[in-house]
Amino acid sequence: MAAIPPVCDFGWQAPDFSLPATDGKTYNFADAAGPNGTLVMFICNHCPYVLAVLDRIIRDANELAELGIGVVAISSNDVAAYPQDSFENMAKMGLPFPYLYDETQDVARAYDAVCTPDFYGFNSDGKLQYRGRLDASTKSAGPDDLRRDLFEAMKMVAETGNGPRDQIASMGCSIKWKDAT
C-alpha cells in the first residue's frame, strides 16, 4: 500500500543530524547543505517507487548540485525486517551523493518521514520550501517528458529562496519502522 506524506510546511526548520555514510564519512545537515539550498531525501534500496526513478533522482541531484543545492539521501528502514536495505547493501548502490544510514530511525522521526521516496527541499537558511514529488511517476517510471516537479521547485529555491506554493505530495512505500518492543 502506498504512503503519501503531508504537504509542505513552509519555513519549518531542518532538524540537524549526524549519520554515517556509505563513503565512510559522517554527515550533519551543514555538511550536506549547499550555498543555495539543500535536498534531503529518504530513500531505500528495495522500494519499487525509488528503483523506478533512481536514474531520474541521480540526474536531478547532479543538476541541482550545479545550481548550488546540496543533496543527501537517508535510509531509515528496519534492516532486521528488510535486510536488502542494510548498510552493506546501501554501499553497493554507488550513489553520486552522500547516502546516510539512520539506524535508530531518530532522523526519520525528526523529519516526520512517511515514505520512500520522501523529498525535503530547504532554502539556504535551512527552511523548508518543498515537500513534493519527483515527477508524476509511480511504481513505474512515467514517460521521459514528465514535468520535473522536484527539479523545477529546487531550481526556484536556488534562485529565489522560496518554493512553489502548489505542490503535489510524493508517493511511495511506507518507512519500515522497527517494532516498539
State mean pLDDT over 83-110: 97
Non-local (6+) Cβ contacts of 43 within 8 A are 50, 57, 73, 74, 75, 116, 117
pLDDT tens, position by position, 19-48: 999 999 999 999 999 999 999 999 999 999
- The answer as to whether 167 is a domain residue is yes
What's the pLDDT at 1?
Answer: 65
Number of other residues whose CB lies within 10 A of the CB of residue 94 = 9
- The answer as to whether 43 is a domain residue is yes
What number of CA atoms fall less than 13 Å from residue 139's CA on the CB side?
7
pLDDT of 180 above 80: no
Indicate the SS3 state at residue 21. Answer: strand
- The answer as to whether 70 is a domain residue is yes
Structural domain count of the chain? 1
Non-local (6+) Cβ contacts of 142 within 8 A are 135, 136
**Mean of pLDDT over the chain:** 96
**Residue 157 and residue 14 in contact, taking contact as beta carbons nearer than 8 Å:** no
- The answer as to whether 9 is a domain residue is yes
- The answer as to whether 179 is a domain residue is no
What number of CA atoms fall less than 13 Å from residue 4's CA on the CB side?
5
Q: Using CA of residue 75, residue 78, residue 81, residue 86, what is the dihedral sign?
A: positive
For strands 172-174 and 26-28, give the pairing.
unpaired
At which residue does the C-alpha cell 519555513 appear? 11
7: pLDDT confidence band, cut at 50, 70 and 90?
A: confident
Query: What CATH number does the domain containing 138 carry?
Result: 3.40.30.10
Domain that holds residue 20: 2-174
- Percent share of the chain, pLDDT over 90: 94
- The answer as to whether 23 is a domain residue is yes
pLDDT tens, position by position, 117-144: 999 999 999 999 999 999 999 999 999 9
- Cell readout for 81 is 525486517
**Closest CA relative to residue 74, chosen from 125, 29, 34:** 29
pLDDT tens, position by position, 51-68: 999 999 999 999 999 999
